[in-house]
Amino acid sequence: MSVIAESQESDEAGNKGLKAGALGLGSAIVIGVASTAPGYSLAAGLGGIVSEVGKQAPAIVWMAFIPMFFIASAYKYMNKVDPDCGTTFTWVTRSFGPNAGWMASWGLIMADLVIMPNLAGISGQYLFILIGKPEWADNKWAVLIAGVLFILAMTWICVIGIELNAKTQMGLLAAEVITLIIFAVVALAKANITPSLSWLNPFEITTPDGSMNWSAIAAGINLSLFIYWGWDTAVAVNEECADSDKTPGRAAVISTFILVANYVIVSFAVISVAGIDKLGESSDVLETSAETVFGNHGFGAVFFKLLVIAVLSSAAASCQTTILPAARSTLSMGVHKAIPAKFAETHPRYLTPTFSTWLFGGIAVAWFVFLVVISGGDWQGDNSPYILSISAVGLMIAFYYGATGYAAVAYFWRYLFKSSKAFFAVGLSSLLGALILTWSFVVTLMDDGGGKLTYIGLGLLFLGVPLMLACRTVDGGSFFRIKPDPMEDRPDPFEPDAHSPELGTYRKEV
């Protein structure tokens, strides 16, 4: 008998599934927009933004895109030389060594964790609104129970590896965006306050004495980071997968335009219908104003339900894109011995990192329950666990995106002064992105001045330090002996086949 063992290794990362090479312009645009879950982002984020900056919310919404736009180049070029493995975790390790890489990855995981209560809460509330029990949506314990069930269900979906096919995702997204646009148009037509272009002007975000209110701007940007979260990665991955033509570049531009325009228009619409006083009182401005706009009978009622469904499906998709990267990061960390190997175990049947996924889901439930229990009576307003989640996720995003931006600048340092393209597109862009994010991180914290947000934000980040120290025992600390890639071995991001060396090629002697 003869055994011909011809194991066909998987082909270089990124060319599978939603194969971008095979995607047309339309689908690539859809993916760029879908990456941020616009329906859910608006439902969750707009209330807080309005309560920070009032009518100037549209100004903050477009301004918050600036750091994300800049930081996307860090993602793009790091992804080019080290695609598809561990993202922030490996990139920061390559630039600044294992301790920094570990902490940056911890920031990413904490970002995913702190947003879960918000996802769960919004889903619970919208579910009750959908089934015609709005009074339950106002009951914090009912929402808690529904939210916990939602987290468990979504975790289970990630464990068994269900994934909607590309066409279904696109259909859902198209429905979501169209519903939002219809809502915005109808709302603007019925506006109680005449919308004014001055709402787009950031210089009108002022304190009562007329000077620029930088702390409100920082807080607003910190809240708005979350609505663009995911856009950069999607753009980077799309570019990476593409064959050669101009589709990905065009798709990135168009999807960006649709996304920003959609957010700006909806924030215009919401403010002109509900006014800022009413909006400040509720953490969920989308639902509040949708009721006003659509009413509760006839076509209006149908559109209202459609909007609720759009937010729900968008929350579910967003939940999946929150759990998966967290589990994927811990899997990568497990593989590289940065945390116990248990995290890299895959289930024999589902072939997913079951331990990583369930642990994340479990901690998310505990965190959600904790936040709701400590929230007391004030669970829907400005200090609600939901708004708190979004402020906290802004901090975490600023932390790990910032780390990624600095890592890209340091990693490509020796190429930055060789061409103006490298200088501007790689160096300056990543650096500006990282600096703006660091600024919003610092100002937001200083402004909070020891409030709940400071405790949650800094507390969760610093919790990583003892855990990291404890992980030094894993595999005799082999991960922590990894040295940053030596300068001469760092690839030029503009070379066609540039590729970083295998992570861990360079280690300190024992």
Partner 1 sequence: MAGELVVGYDGLECAQTALRVAAGLAKSMEVGLIIVFAAEPPQLNLGGAGDQRRLLAERGAELLDEAAALIAESGVEVSQRVVDEKPEHALITVADECHAPIIVVGTYSERPLAAALVGSTPHKLLHLSNHPVLVVPVPDEE
Query: Considering the rule CB under 8 A, would residue 181 count as an interface residue with partner 1?
Result: no
Name the β-bridge partners of 64. Answer: none
Distance CA 106, CA 262 (A): 32
Dihedral of CA atoms 168, 174, 180, 181 in degrees, nearest 10, equals -170
Q: Which is nearer to partner 1, 111 or 269 (CB)?
A: 111
Site stretch for partner 1 (CB under 8 A), options 193-201, 258-266, 351-359, 391-399: 351-359
Query: Considering the rule CB under 8 A, would residue 16 count as an interface residue with partner 1?
Result: yes
What does R_g of the chain's alpha carbons equal in angstroms?
Answer: 23
Query: Considering the rule CB under 8 A, would residue 338 count as an interface residue with partner 1?
Result: no
Query: Considering the rule CB under 8 A, would residue 237 count as an interface residue with partner 1?
Result: yes
382 SS3 class: coil
> What's the closest the beta carbon of residue 137 comes to partner 1, in angstroms?
27
Query: Considering the rule CB under 8 A, would residue 337 count as an interface residue with partner 1?
Result: no
Sign of torsion over alpha carbons 238, 309, 289, 281: negative
Distance CA 367, CA 320 (A): 18
> What's the closest the beta carbon of residue 108 comes to partner 1, in angstroms?
10
Q: Which is nearer to partner 1, 162 or 467 (CB)?
A: 162
Distance CA 435, CA 422 (A): 18
Q: How does 31-45 read in b/e, with b if 16+ C-beta sit within 10 Å?
A: bbbbbbbbbbbbbbb
Contact predicate 104/433, CB 8 Å = no
Query: Considering the rule CB under 8 A, would residue 14 count as an interface residue with partner 1?
Result: yes
Distance CA 293, CA 287 (A): 10
Q: Which is nearer to partner 1, 52 or 82 (CB)?
A: 82
Query: Considering the rule CB under 8 A, would residue 162 count as an interface residue with partner 1?
Result: yes
> What's the closest the beta carbon of residue 2 comes to partner 1, in angstroms?
6
Distance CA 52, CA 277 (A): 12
> What's the closest the beta carbon of residue 429 comes to partner 1, in angstroms?
19
Q: How far is CA 502 from CA 90, 158, 435, 485, 505, in A?
A: 10, 28, 29, 9, 6
List the one residue from 11, 209, 488, 509 that touches partner 1 (CB under 8 A).
Answer: 11
Query: Considering the rule CB under 8 A, would residue 467 count as an interface residue with partner 1?
Result: no
Binding mask 206-235 for partner 1 (x = CB under 8 A): ---------------------------xx-
> What's the closest the beta carbon of residue 10 comes to partner 1, in angstroms?
3
Query: Considering the rule CB under 8 A, would residue 328 count as an interface residue with partner 1?
Result: yes
> What's the closest the beta carbon of residue 33 comes to partner 1, in angstroms?
11
Query: Considering the rule CB under 8 A, would residue 17 count as an interface residue with partner 1?
Result: yes
List the one residue from 198, 201, 346, 505 that touches partner 1 (CB under 8 A).
Answer: 346
Query: Considering the rule CB under 8 A, would residue 331 count as an interface residue with partner 1?
Result: yes
User: What residues from 19 to 58 belong to the interface with partner 1 (CB under 8 A)?
Assistant: 31, 35
Query: Considering the rule CB under 8 A, would residue 163 count as an interface residue with partner 1?
Result: yes
> What's the closest the beta carbon of residue 90 comes to partner 1, in angstroms?
9
Largest CA distance in the chain: 89
> What's the closest the beta carbon of residue 412 comes to partner 1, in angstroms?
19
Distance CA 71, CA 35 (A): 16
Name the β-bridge partners of 212. Answer: 206
Query: Considering the rule CB under 8 A, would residue 101 count as an interface residue with partner 1?
Result: no
List the one residue from 51, 255, 320, 389 that touches partner 1 (CB under 8 A).
Answer: 320
Site stretch for partner 1 (CB under 8 A), options 66-74, 286-294, 317-325, 390-398: 317-325
Distance CA 119, CA 110 (A): 14
DSSP letter string over 432-476?
Answer: HHHHHHHHHHHHHHHHH-SSHHHHHHHHHHHHHHHHHHHGGGGGG
Distance CA 169, CA 381 (A): 33
- What angle, rounded to 10 degrees, do the helices at 385-411 and 65-81 form? 50
> What's the closest the beta carbon of residue 379 comes to partner 1, in angstroms?
31
User: What residues from 77 to 96 belong to the interface with partner 1 (CB under 8 A)?
Assistant: 79, 83-87
Query: Considering the rule CB under 8 A, would residue 245 count as an interface residue with partner 1?
Result: no
φ, ψ at 491 (rounded to 5°): -75, 155
Site stretch for partner 1 (CB under 8 A), options 142-150, 201-209, 236-244, 264-272: 236-244
Query: Considering the rule CB under 8 A, would residue 321 count as an interface residue with partner 1?
Result: yes
Token readout for 203 is: 């210089």
Residues at the contact surface with partner 1, assessed by CB under 8 A? 1-11, 13-14, 16-18, 31, 35, 79, 83-87, 158, 160-163, 233-234, 236-238, 240, 320-321, 324-325, 328-329, 331-332, 335-336, 344, 346, 348-349, 351-353
